[in-house]
């Protein structure tokens, strides 16, 4: 509330201006009058001391102040003195006197209460200048990052580049054929049900020639990379062809084109198809990825992401600028997406990423990949990957994780991949595989290779390894040339091999945390049943220390295996022989 210590303006609420002579100007230290929308205010003499009275309407003054104010106002010709009121308005004056008496009584009662004494105590003014009233409104808070609705015909890549960090993009149902999306920090991409991000273009106007259908003028040609299996000589080419959402096999020559296959003559920019495309949707993947770059805190949710011409070892979602980047963008959240039919990797993440509740299937090389610290892979379904026919020994299957620290892989379902199911390979440390269901993968179910400290626990692993079952390589769980690994409380049933350790010369590999060898392997409290091959340890370097002095042990496991299904000192053994060797 304002003060008035010298002649000058005083602030009067707008409602009351014009109701009193002088328009609210204070003539001296004892002259202050303010009314506020029908409620009473009490003023004492001296400086402008204010106390609001909640008794109702009117203005109350204590007795001393009343006389002073009445005298001063009469002199200033503002308000008539009380005797004038008696002469002109006798009846209203009686009401005013009654009101003043009531005010005096309230003041007297309040004065008896020590807690209210401060309301009537004068305090020296801090300034001799009039003080404007504080505004009663505040400025609106600053607006946050915008939310952008994205229609299928919009250019999402351009929108993401143009909008600030933290922007949320909500994709409407339909097929969005965007270019390369390079998110900024903290941008969020959310799909409405039915929203699809596609890296393909639709092909029309085919010609016929010699029993084949062809379309010229096709200039797409991505990175050629990877090692192919014998039945897929063109797996290294990034482009794929789809007819009614079915991926065709890319063959190596025009003469090999039959129904279900196609050939891209890159030299002559022409595509050949072995079946009639009339009345069907023919699509060619051309965009190398959906999301890329090393921004931080990016979120991608509830989208279908498909048909990207992703080179091998790169992802349709990839938080790196380059395939050799081991750090990349931090803390991406990739949740609730369907990621399918992309040529290389479905999702490739880096430091701090959370990959959660996605369905990642039928990608050309791998379902998932990761590098960096603190990556979490949880609650995903990963199946049917390596459709392009890459060599699993090179790198293909359900997943592969390299150069990680603190990787957590838990509660995933991993099945039917053409290669290993879950695979840590090259310089990983502090890995945890927990509560995963890993079934019917052509390669090893869970493989921890040329790496360090790991826990593999509470997994269900069955039906794996039958496509690559030579020696010990068809295992449900395999530890290869790695240090400090504990394997416990798993159910390993019906795989080509059971639980195995392998020691090899891997001096060609990075070894950031010490020498690479099979050492301190602890396998205990597992149920191992019905596996066709062996459980145990093998080596191919002529060094039996892996059996005798490297602290590798099997103990307290439950086996249901008849015959020579145990491997030690590079020889098969019966269960009784296995026990005699100090293992159980």
The three-point CA angle 360-157-197 to 5° equals 30
Task: Please classify residue 269 by burial: count the beta carbons closer than 10 Å to its beta carbon, then call 0-12 exposed, 13-18 middle and 19+ buried.
Answer: middle
Residue position matching structure tokens 């059996």: 547
Tell me the three state secondary structure of residue 85: helix
Provide mean pLDDT across the span 198-211: 96
pLDDT classification of 562: cutoffs 50, 70, 90: confident
pLDDT classification of 541: cutoffs 50, 70, 90: very high
pLDDT of amino acid 144: 80
Going by C-alpha positions, the residue among 266, 238, 240 that lies closest to residue 253 is 266
pLDDT classification of 143: cutoffs 50, 70, 90: confident
Q: How far is Cα of residue 140 from the mean position of the Cα atoms in its chain?
A: 30
Model's pTM, two decimal places?
0.76
pLDDT classification of 326: cutoffs 50, 70, 90: confident
pLDDT in tens, 243-292: 999 999 999 999 999 999 999 999 999 999 999 999 999 999 999 999 99
Report residue 186 as tokens: 């903290």
Tell me the C-alpha distance between 88 and 82, whole Å. Answer: 10
Going by C-alpha positions, the residue among 217, 375, 381, 225 that lies closest to residue 288 is 225
The answer to which of 11-15, 194-198, 380-384 has the lowest mean pLDDT is 11-15
Q: Over 60: is that where the pLDDT of 182 sits?
A: yes
Provide mean pLDDT across the span 510-525: 97
pLDDT classification of 359: cutoffs 50, 70, 90: very high
Neighbour-count burial for 203-238, b at 16+ CB within 10 Å, e otherwise = beebeeeeebbbbeebebebbebbebbeebebbbbb
Q: Over 80: is that where the pLDDT of 54 sits?
A: no
Q: How many CA atoms lie within 13 A of 407 on its CB side?
A: 32
Q: Over 80: is that where the pLDDT of 110 sits?
A: no
Report residue 204 as tokens: 């029309």
Mean pLDDT estimate for the chain: 83
The residue with greater pLDDT, 473 or 87, is 473
CB-CB neighbours of 394 under 10 Å: 15
Provide mean pLDDT across the span 121-149: 55
pLDDT classification of 303: cutoffs 50, 70, 90: very high
Tell me the three state secondary structure of residue 550: coil
Extended strands (E) in 287-434: 299-301, 304-306, 315-318, 333-335, 338-340, 345-349, 354-356, 359-361, 366-373, 376-378, 381-383, 397-405, 408-410, 413-415, 422-425, 431-434
The residue with greater pLDDT, 508 or 108, is 508
Tell me the C-alpha distance between 88 and 581, whole Å. Answer: 124
DSSP string, 321-339: SSTT-SS-SS--EEES-EE
Report residue 62 as tokens: 């204590």
pLDDT in tens, 18-51: 333 333 333 333 333 333 333 333 333 333 333 3
Residue position matching structure tokens 């593999």: 456
Provide mean pLDDT across the span 377-389: 98
Report residue 152 as tokens: 């299928």
Residue position matching structure tokens 């005083």: 10
């Amino acid at each position: 509330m304002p003060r008035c210590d010298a002649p000058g303006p005083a602030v009067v609420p707008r409602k009351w201006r014009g109701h009193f002579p002088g328009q609210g100007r204070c003539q001296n230290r004892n002259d202050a009058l303010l009314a506020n929308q029908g409620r009473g205010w009490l003023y004492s003499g001296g400086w402008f001391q204010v106390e609001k009275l909640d008794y109702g309407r009117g203005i109350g003054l204590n007795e001393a102040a009343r006389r002073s104010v009445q005298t001063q106002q009469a002199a200033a010709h503002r308000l008539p003195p009380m005797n004038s009121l008696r002469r002109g308005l006798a009846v209203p004056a009686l009401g005013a006197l009654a009101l003043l008496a009531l005010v005096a009584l309230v003041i007297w009662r309040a004065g008896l209460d020590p807690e209210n004494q401060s309301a009537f105590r004068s305090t020296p003014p801090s300034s001799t200048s009039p003080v404007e009233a504080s505004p009663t409104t505040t400025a609106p808070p600053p607006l946050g990052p915008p939310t952008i609705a994205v229609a299928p015909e919009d250019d999402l890549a351009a929108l993401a580049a143009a909008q600030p960090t933290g922007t949320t993009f909500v994709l409407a149902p339909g097929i969005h054929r965007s270019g390369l999306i390079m998110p900024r920090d903290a941008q969020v991409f959310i799909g409405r049900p039915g929203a699809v991000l596609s890296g393909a273009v639709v092909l029309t106007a085919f010609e016929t020639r010699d029993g084949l259908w062809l379309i010229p003028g096709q200039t797409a040609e991505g990175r050629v990379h990877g090692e192919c299996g014998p039945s897929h000589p063109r797996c290294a080419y990034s482009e794929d062809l789809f007819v009614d959402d079915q991926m065709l096999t890319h063959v190596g020559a025009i003469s090999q084109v039959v129904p279900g296959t196609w050939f891209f003559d890159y030299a002559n920019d022409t595509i050949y198809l072995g079946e009639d495309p009339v009345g069907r949707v023919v699509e060619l993947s051309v965009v190398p990825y959906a999301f890329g770059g090393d921004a931080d805190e990016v979120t991608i949710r509830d989208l279908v992401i498909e048909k990207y011409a992703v080179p091998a070892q790169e992802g349709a979602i990839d938080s790196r600028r380059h395939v050799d980047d081991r750090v990349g963008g931090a803390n991406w959240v990739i949740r609730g997406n369907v990621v399918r039919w992309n040529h290389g990797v479905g999702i490739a993440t880096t430091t701090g990423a959370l990959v959660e509740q996605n369905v990642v299937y039928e990608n050309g090389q791998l379902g998932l990949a990761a590098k960096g610290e603190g990556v979490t892979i949880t609650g995903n379904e990963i199946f049917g990957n390596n459709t392009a026919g890459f060599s699993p020994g090179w790198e293909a299957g359900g997943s592969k994780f390299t150069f990680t620290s603190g990787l957590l892989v838990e509660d995933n379902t991993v099945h039917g991949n053409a290669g290993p199911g879950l695979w840590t390979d090259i310089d990983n440390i502090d890995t945890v595989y927990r509560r995963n269901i890993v079934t019917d993968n052509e390669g090893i179910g869970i493989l921890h290779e040329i790496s360090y400290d790991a826990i593999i626990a509470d997994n269900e692993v069955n039906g794996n390894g039958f496509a690559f079952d030579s020696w010990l390589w068809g295992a449900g769980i395999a530890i290869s040339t790695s240090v400090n690994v504990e394997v416990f409380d798993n159910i390993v049933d019906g795989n080509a091999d059971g639980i195995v350790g392998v020691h090899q010369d891997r001096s060609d590999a990075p070894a950031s945390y010490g020498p690479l060898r099979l050492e301190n392997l602890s396998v205990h409290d597992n149920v191992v049943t019905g596996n066709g091959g062996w459980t145990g340890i093998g080596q191919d370097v002529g060094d039996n220390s892996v059996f005798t002095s490297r602290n590798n042990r099997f103990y307290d496991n439950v086996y249901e295996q008849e015959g020579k299904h145990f491997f030690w000192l590079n020889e098969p053994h019966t269960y009784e022989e296995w026990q005699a060797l100090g293992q159980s």
